Structure 1
Amino acid sequence: MSRLSEMRETRNYLLAAAIFLILIIGMQITAYIVNLLVISLILTILTLPAMDLLRKKGMPDGIAVGMITAVSGIAILGLLLLTMHSFQVLIEDLPMYQAELNQRLAELLLLLDTIGIDPASLSPSSISLGSVVTAIEPYVLNFGQIVLYLFFIMMTTCFALLEAPNIPGRLERILGSSMESRFGIGRMSRLMIEFVIVRTEANIIHGTLFGLALWAMGIHAALLWGILTFILAFIPYIGLLIAAIPAIFFAWLQYGAPGAVAVMIIVVILNALVENPIFAYIASRRFDLPPLVVIISLIVWGWILGIPGMIFAIPITLILLIMVQCSDETRWINTLLGVDKLFAEESGTTGKN
């Protein structure tokens, strides 16, 4: 009998693995829709505080949701227009950038020749900025598709905000009131919402300060690099580094090595002033994902959903961890990953409050 039960258990594990693999493949195939839903969920989380504030002031839900949706849509559309305008200006000034690049490469060749190195394969005309811009231009300037995508996102967010007040009651009916106290699901949900809001606020500050610093230096397309910093800062560990590379490159084009070093110093200073306090703020609430879980999340969600998957890897992972914690049969996964402590109530919190 025990042998039969072991075979059933093995079969169940194999079946679960097969279903999981099918889900991953399905998400990769439908990445367009999945990304739309994920972005809508993040926007819903970001706008929930404003929704609660308007509701407390007695504003009807329909009017409040309409107002929040309109403001959010205008803000996002404005950000997109600024990005596209900055990129268009960059394309128009491409001949000037190419001339600056040729000058820097000629200086580099002279330096290498001085120290006795023969760069036979490198010449000022061997690197073309036009080919790089041509490769990414269709993804940046397709305004029609972007507006259509934004419309679907805002509509989904609108209806999600209308349904948000009903979600806690539905979850309580499904999971039972004891589930919350036993597994700290509500606490983890609050931490996830807090993470998304605080991370977004930090990115706004970081992108604004970086863009202003580049503008003060006179770096080409400073606004574009500030927006890029705001977006890519959602990617843990590597996002800010990737966002800084174009700014460092253009600083090198304009001012040579001193300009590139100056931008590097700005990046280090902003990391110290903005990133460290923000992460200290989150860590003080015992929000801490193991680095291995973060890296795996970036790889997996980046492979499944592309760049949006990397940007929203942490919020998506937190949602999955909450879902895993809801089941007795899957909770061991959180323990194995070392994230089960996130669901444990903080000792002494109740007493202090």
Structure 2
Amino acid sequence: MVDNYKIPPFLNQILIISVIILATIGMKYISPILGPVLISIFISILIYPFLMWLKKKGFSYNVSILITLALTFVLGLGLLAIMVMSISQLVAAVSTITVDPNSFLATYANQIIKFIFSNIPLENIAGIIEMGFFLIFAVMFLIYELPYVKSRLIKGLGENSLTLKHTFDLVADFIEYFVIRIKVNLLAAVGFVGIFWLFDINFAILWGILTFVLGFIPYIGIIIAAIPPILVAWAKYGIGGAIAIAILFVIVNTIAESYVFPKLTGKGLQMSVYVVFVSLFIWGWILGFAGMFLAVPLTLVVIKYLENFHETRWLALLLTTDDEAEKEEEDEKPS
């Protein structure tokens, strides 16, 4: 009798939702550790194709891994040094970034500047260095381990495992999408740095790095990245300079997102705009800034996981969009 007992469907759904809530609370509790670890995993997955590319070019595996690790260390250390030096200069100059009291909307501009810089922990240079070195070495160690992790998964789950196939397909989709995202962000960041240098905006490199990083945050990332250089331009050139920088930001971002990005990728995220937007705040609440940075890949992981089980497939369908189906529905509508 007990063996034939089945959990009622409504209770099954309640259990699923309860598990999701408990998992969310657990991730929130360990977010100071989990966030940096997830970022290191994400960066490692993006760098791994470079290792494979070197092998295809005829280099041995040992030489390929040495080149990859060396470039990762040099690039990571260089970016960290630039950020630390730029932030140190910004800390020293932050008190001088004020808008002329006689200019248009000066009172509001100075209040915004004061609010923003007072809420950014610029003085915590030691914390930035510590986090930077953790990410550099965590990424290097994980890149070294990734080939062995892959072989262990194949050995443990079997070469023909559907779960393993779905995992590898998901990773491949990640790499394809986010490599394109890196190219677009880099193009936009170089364009913005050129604009900042042209207008002699202080800390141009720092704002460029900020633009590149925040470009991974859909919709609101570029808005956040635009605020500091616009305020610096306002303080230096007045409201006219701020408007000019804002317009150039819109132009460069429009070219990158509306022309370059669609040309490089033939498919989207298959997530609705609402889901992407809400996921930014949910993952941001759970993991802090790391959550906003990783909101899209983490949401895709959740969706792919939910798709693997009959009981949760309906949740995955709610979070995705079927572009082809929607297009067919539009075509069938009477004109």
Q: TM-score, normalised by structure 1?
A: 0.79
Aligned partner of 1:244 in structure 2 is 226
1:60–1:292: structure 2 CA closer, same or farther, 3 Å change rule? same
Aligned partner of 1:137 in structure 2 is 122
Deviations 1:182-235 (A, max 9, x none): xx7765543222111111111111112101210111012111111110111111
* In structure 2, distance between residues paired with 1:134 and 1:303: 17
Q: How is 1:9-28 mapped onto 2 (pairs within 5 angstroms)?
A: 9-28=9-28
Contact 2:104 2:239 in 1 (8 A): no
* In structure 1, distance between residues paired with 2:145 and 2:304: 19
Aligned partner of 1:323 in structure 2 is 305
* In structure 2, distance between residues paired with 1:300 and 1:148: 28
Q: What secondary structure is seen at the aligned counterpart in 1 of 2:91?
A: helix
1:258 has 2:240 as partner? yes
Q: Which moved more, 1:212-221 or 1:28-37?
A: 28-37
1:146 has 2:128 as partner? no
Unmatched tracts of structure 2, length 5 or more: 325-335
Aligned partner of 1:173 in structure 2 is 158
Contact 2:83 2:206 in 1 (8 A): yes
Q: What secondary structure is seen at the aligned counterpart in 2 of 1:210?
A: helix
Letter aligned with residue 137 of structure 1: L
Q: CA deviation at 1:142?
A: 2.9
* In structure 2, distance between residues paired with 1:123 and 1:172: 60
Aligned partner of 2:103 in structure 1 is 107
1:297 has 2:282 as partner? no
* In structure 1, distance between residues paired with 2:319 and 2:112: 45
Aligned partner of 1:194 in structure 2 is 176
Aligned partner of 1:347 in structure 2 is none
Q: How is 1:1-353 mapped onto 2 (pairs within 5 angstroms)?
A: 8-98=8-98, 101=99, 103=100, 105-108=101-104, 129=114, 132-133=117-118, 135-163=120-148, 165-166=150-151, 169=154, 173=158, 176-177=161-162, 187-281=169-263, 284-339=266-321
Q: Which moved more, 1:123-132 or 1:226-235?
A: 123-132
1:331–1:60: structure 2 CA closer, same or farther, 3 Å change rule? farther
Deviations 1:261-304 (A, max 9, x none): 11012112101221212431366235432101101211111010
* In structure 1, distance between residues paired with 2:164 and 2:144: 27
Aligned partner of 1:348 in structure 2 is none
Letter aligned with residue 39 of structure 1: I
1:41–1:337: structure 2 CA closer, same or farther, 3 Å change rule? same
1:139–1:293: structure 2 CA closer, same or farther, 3 Å change rule? farther
Contact 1:232 1:240 in 2 (8 A): yes
Contact 1:179 1:326 in 2 (8 A): no
Q: What secondary structure is seen at the aligned counterpart in 2 of 1:137?
A: coil
Letter aligned with residue 139 of structure 2: M
Letter aligned with residue 74 of structure 1: V
Larger Rg over CA atoms: 1
CA RMSD of aligned residues (A): 3.3
Letter aligned with residue 323 of structure 1: Y
Q: What secondary structure is seen at the aligned counterpart in 1 of 2:270?
A: coil
Q: CA deviation at 1:252?
A: 0.8
Deviations 1:296-347 (A, max 9, x none): 21111101011111011111112222222223332222222234679xxxxx
Contact 2:207 2:228 in 1 (8 A): yes
* In structure 2, distance between residues paired with 1:292 and 1:131: 27
* In structure 2, distance between residues paired with 1:331 and 1:123: 49
* Seq. identity, %: 29
Letter aligned with residue 229 of structure 1: T
Q: CA deviation at 1:15?
A: 2.6
1:56–1:71: structure 2 CA closer, same or farther, 3 Å change rule? same
Deviations 1:144-173 (A, max 9, x none): 422442245224423443335427735862
1:7–1:46: structure 2 CA closer, same or farther, 3 Å change rule? closer
Q: CA deviation at 1:246?
A: 0.8
Aligned partner of 1:345 in structure 2 is none
